[in-house]
Structure 1
């Protein structure tokens, strides 16, 4: 039975993912509807990621496979390079070490039917290196929220490999901020959410694979970038109920998560340092918010 081809370009950055990229692309090939295009950007890998991806061309048919290589510039730059080559009306994001369940695209496109909906996301399963699977109920945070943007600002509940977005909306928002070495995806979802509606629907249609090599491994870098994302996007809170509480809570969560990550690695000194930085960072953040300023910086919190 021939699968219908849908106007979706799959955006996949790859960095030293030779061991997993075929699994990711196989999950695209197994979709109940076929995306018109997959763009894989090898971000300066030292392994055979690009070659392994290219070997999946026949597997993906009738989907067009485009594989390009670039000097290492980070996942955000790799995604932007893929977006520049995208032909589809919609962009579906999938990291090269994650995978989709077969009806992921079909369900996502159904929820994108409203013209004012800029992107959709859903629940996911998180699989550890030893194979243990933990379900992540992301939709509950969305469904409980009176104001979805404020809820997303307080705590990120949109994972990149779950997102399907309108290409014109992503381009209008400027794509991924390449100066951020972490949280570029969260930053983009917030910018999109300021400009239109989004939906997080139930159903774990993505499996996220944990590893130690990703950007999440650098705790301090993630803390700083998360603060920068808050500073860049808190202007969207003006006029919303509970804006001040959202800024305070988000700043607290950033530092709590950093401390928890350090404690998980038995790094008690850095954990204490993260907690001690909280009052200083909160004061600087609230001052920016009071002045009505949004900044791509974050030097106040270093």
Structure 2
């Protein structure tokens, strides 16, 4: 018979759910209700309050009051940032498998059971990753993200070519996480990209679970709203890892710089930050492999493809008549 809330967990938990939170009181009831649906997986929840000012800790204590004490732990993260909070949670964990979840996201059915079973059945894997649904602030589904359909993978080179990672859909063996040093607490953005690249460099194998495991909320207070630091952080992480390659890989390195930076151009354009998009475009063209006549066409292709990936409509005519394009075209065609 499956264990129920209120029953004891006598053995080591099968999986530790590490959840950093900052001002997440409004999201916690839905998240915890979703976790309870997977009570029989034998999880433990380790929540890390990273400097909340909205009584998140009090809300969590109230919601978990009927849980056995060994099924949940609340740590004080001290406001040191999400990487330090996650690392602290992993160090406190008792299970051999770690499932990350951010407090503003919502686990979908199978979020814990699916990855746990896959890792148990495939001992050669160090981590597994599922897809996710992009959602609005109310949790309403908008568009599924399924990176495996675009060839994303977990070797160092394949991940560098398609840097698809979302911590809330990511499950990692504890020993592999600790072996590479966990998240780099000095990195404020794209710390997940950095960690996955280090796992790949150390030959830890990963695999896709081809289903959506979490609802990823897009709202004004999450990290994705801090556009410029986020994109600059991603480019810095990419550059740090590309520098580990020798000069014989120079053409491939330049291709990765160009493709990632043009994707960042789309991100800035889509967010309405025209000046930043133009700055990134000038930066991207330093590594552009295409002749002048091909550059505008390729940028339009990137923007159309990137929009489709998140379910956004792309209007080519609207782009070509925009202030962004009026300033971008001369940059694209400059020798």
TM class, shorter-length: 0.7 to 0.9
The equivalent residue for 2:147 is: 138
Kindly indicate whether the alpha-carbon contact (under 8 Å) linking 2:106 and 2:216 is maintained by their aligned counterparts in 1. yes
Using a 3 Å threshold, how does the CA distance of structure 1 residues 33 and 181 change in structure 2: closer, same or farther? same
After superposing the two structures, state which structure 1 stretch, 47-56 or 29-38, moved more.
Answer: 29-38
Alignment of 1:84-99 (within 5 A): 84-99=91-106
With over 3 angstroms needed to count, the CA separation of the structure-2 counterparts of 1:280 and 1:198, relative to structure 1, is: same
- CA shift, 1:56, in A, is 2.5
1:67-123 CA-partner distances (Å, limit 9, x unpaired): 122321211111111111111101100000111122222211122132221100111
Contact in 2 for aligned 1:16/1:45 (Cα 8 Å): yes
**Cα shift readout 1:147-195 (whole Å, capped 9, x = no counterpart):** 7432211122221111111001101110111111101111111211222
Quote the offset at 1:278 in angstroms: 2.4
Q: Does 1:222 align with 2:222?
A: no
Q: Distance between the aligned counterparts of 1:134 and 1:116, measured in 2?
A: 32
Match of 1:69 in 2: 76
CA change 1:35–1:184 in 2 (3 A) is farther
Which ranges in structure 1 are unaligned for 5 or more consecutive residues? 283-302
Matched, 1:159 2:200: no
TM-score, normalised with respect to structure 2: 0.75
Q: Is the 8 A contact 2:189 2:229 kept in 1?
A: yes
String of CA shifts for 1:10-57, please: whole Å, max 9, x gaps. Answer: 100001111002222221111163343111001101111111112232
Aligned residues: 279
Q: How does 1:1-302 map onto structure 2 within 5 Å?
A: 1-3=1-3, 6-31=13-38, 33-58=40-65, 60-61=67-68, 64-112=71-119, 113-129=121-137, 131-141=140-150, 144=151, 148-194=155-201, 195-234=203-242, 244=250, 246-280=252-286
Find the residue that maps to 2:206 and give its secondary structure. Answer: strand
Structure 2: 5+ residue runs without aligned partners? 289-335
| Cα distance between partner residues in 2 of 1:245 and 1:205 | 36
CA contact 2:133–2:212 (8 Å) conserved in 1:
yes
Preserved CA contact (<8 Å) 1:24 1:95? no
In structure 2, what is the Cα distance between the partners aligned to 1:196 and 1:238? 22
What is the CA distance between 1:222 and its match in structure 2?
A: 1.8
Q: Distance in 2 between matches of 1:146 and 1:13?
A: 26
Query: TM (normalized to structure 1)?
Result: 0.83
The residue number in structure 2 matching 1:297 is: none
145 and 12 in structure 1: CA distance in 2 versus 1, 3 angstrom threshold: closer
Asked if structure 1 preserves the Cα contact closer than 8 Å seen for 2:127 and 2:171, the reply is: yes
Structure 1 residue 265: deviation in Å?
A: 3.2
Contact 1:223 1:254 in 2 (8 A): no
Larger Rg: 2
The Cα of 1:203 is off from its aligned counterpart by 0.9
SS at the partner of 2:44? strand
Tell whether the 8 Å contact from 1:153 to 1:190 is kept in structure 2 after alignment. yes
Does structure 1 retain, via aligned residues, the 8 Å contact 2:255–2:287?
no
Query: Could you tell me how far apart the structure 2 residues matched to 1:87 and 1:68 are?
Result: 14
Q: Distance in 1 between matches of 2:154 and 2:250?
A: 14
